[in-house]
């Protein structure tokens, strides 16, 4: 018979190195969430992030992607992902998604958050719901990961969570299918791809030590996207707003360790009844 495909797996030592990179990404995003305010440009945030990452011994790994020269992707309102930092001035009530990555000693982290500029009270109910629904979908996908599970259970869980949130809210969200999550390790983007939505294939079997980035993108309206003339920025075709959340996660026989979360994912994993399993050196 055919052997079942398996994901790659990292050693304990390698996962610990990835935690160092992931933690720096998480700390950078925390800094940006704190500093982000009306009147700053998206390039201001990018400079803050680059200075912070380099000051802590990291390299902005987005700059290692051919053709890209920034530290962040900053996607505002109807921009889904891959917005290029620049002169755009952020205003209270903007829905901002910040995607950040760092390479520390040759190992990578990759994570994203979505927020309302000026704080949740500056946003609409719809934006707050879109952000929370996307974040919940990401955690549902993360908690679907387990050694021996099929990898594409992640997308099934993300999709089920977003549909359930939408039904509870009386709203039909768009789940973007044009971009996917991915393995991560020596480089930011490794095989296999990880759809953030349900697919027919069940995917490879998750091996102990697997490290991947789970990153749903959700829209208030249609999930259809297009790329702007800058060749990077992905926007909704209907102009509706979008959110994006991402974490890099390690899966071991003991459970999950969310490498880019400051608490390692402990709070959300325990709330979901999932095993929080940091590794020790």
Distances (CA, A) of 126 to 31, 95, 145, 167, 276: 25, 11, 29, 14, 32
For Mg ion, the binding residues in 5-44 under the rule CB under 5 A are none
Cβ proximity to Mg ion, 33 vs 38, nearer residue = 33
Beta carbon of residue 153, minimum distance to Mg ion (angstroms, whole number): 19
Q: Which of residues 88-147 bind Mg ion (CB under 5 A)?
A: 99, 110, 112
Of 270, 239, 241, nearest to 257 (Cα)? 270
96 contacts: CB under 8 Å, gap ≥ 6: 36, 42, 74, 75, 76, 90, 114, 115, 116, 117
Which of positions 208-247 make contact with Mg ion (CB under 5 A)?
213, 246
Nearer residue to Mg ion within complex by CB, 197 or 275: 197
Token pair for 238:
């209907």
* Nearest partner of 24 among 274, 202, 262, 277, judged by Cα: 262
- Our CB check for Mg ion shows the closer of 143 and 211 to be 211
CB-based contacts of 258, cutoff 8 Å, min separation 6:
22, 142, 247, 248, 249, 264, 265, 268, 269
Q: Please, which residue, 27 or 273, has the CB nearer to Mg ion?
A: 27
Strand-pair category, 190-194 with 225-227: unpaired
CB of 4 to Mg ion, least distance (A): 25
The nearer residue to Mg ion, 38 or 177, going by C-beta atoms, is: 177
Q: Closest approach of Cβ 215 to Mg ion, in Å?
A: 5
User: How far is residue 23's CA from residue 263's CA, in Å, rounded to a whole number?
Assistant: 9
Nearest CA to 212 out of 199, 195, 227 is that of: 195
Task: Tell me the closest approach of the beta carbon of residue 102 to Mg ion, in angstroms.
Answer: 11
Q: How far apart are CB 149 and Mg ion at their closest, in Å?
A: 20
Widest CA span of the chain, in angstroms?
62
Q: Whole-angstrom Cα distance, residue 103 to residue 59?
A: 5
The answer to whether 96 touches 75, Cβ cutoff 8 Å, is: yes
Nearest CB to Mg ion, comparing residues 69 and 254: 69
Minimum CB separation from Mg ion for residue 57, in Å? 20
Total chain residues near Mg ion (CB under 5 A): 5
| Minimum CB–partner distance for residue 185 and Mg ion (Å) | 12
When the beta carbons of 81 and 144 are compared against Mg ion, the nearer one is 81
> What would the x/- binding string for Mg ion be over residues 170 to 209, using CB under 5 A?
----------------------------------------
Residue ranges that bind Mg ion, judged by CB under 5 A: 99, 110, 112, 213, 246
């Amino acid at each position: 018979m055919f052997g079942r495909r398996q994901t790659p797996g990292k050693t304990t030592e390698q996962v610990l190195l990835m935690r160092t990179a992931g933690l720096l990404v998480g700390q950078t995003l925390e800094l940006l969430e704190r500093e982000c305010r009306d009147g700053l440009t998206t390039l201001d945030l990018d400079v803050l992030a680059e200075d912070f990452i380099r000051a802590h011994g990291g390299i902005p790994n987005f700059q290692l992607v051919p053709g890209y020269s920034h530290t962040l992707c900053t996607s505002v309102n109807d921009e889904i992902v891959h917005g290029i930092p620049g002169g755009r001035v952020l205003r209270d009530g903007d829905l901002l998604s910040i995607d950040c990555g760092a390479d520390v000693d040759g190992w990578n982290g990759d994570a994203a958050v979505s927020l309302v500029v000026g704080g949740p009270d500056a946003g609409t109910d719809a934006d707050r719901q879109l952000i929370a629904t996307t974040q919940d979908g990401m955690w549902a996908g993360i908690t679907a990961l387990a050694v021996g599970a099929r990898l594409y259970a992640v997308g099934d869980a993300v999709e089920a969570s977003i549909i359930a949130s939408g039904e509870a809210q009386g709203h039909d969200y768009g789940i973007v299918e044009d971009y996917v999550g991915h393995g991560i390790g020596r480089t930011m983007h490794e095989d296999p791809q990880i759809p953030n939505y349900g697919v027919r294939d069940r995917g490879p079997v998750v091996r102990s030590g697997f490290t991947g980035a789970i990153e749903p993108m959700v829209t208030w309206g249609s999930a259809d996207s297009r790329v702007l003339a800058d060749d990077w920025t992905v926007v909704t075709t209907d102009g509706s707003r979008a959110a994006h959340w991402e974490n890099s996660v390690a899966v071991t026989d003991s459970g999950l360790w969310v490498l880019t979360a400051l608490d390692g994912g402990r709070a959300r994993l325990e709330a979901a009844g999932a095993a929080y399993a940091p590794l020790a050196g």
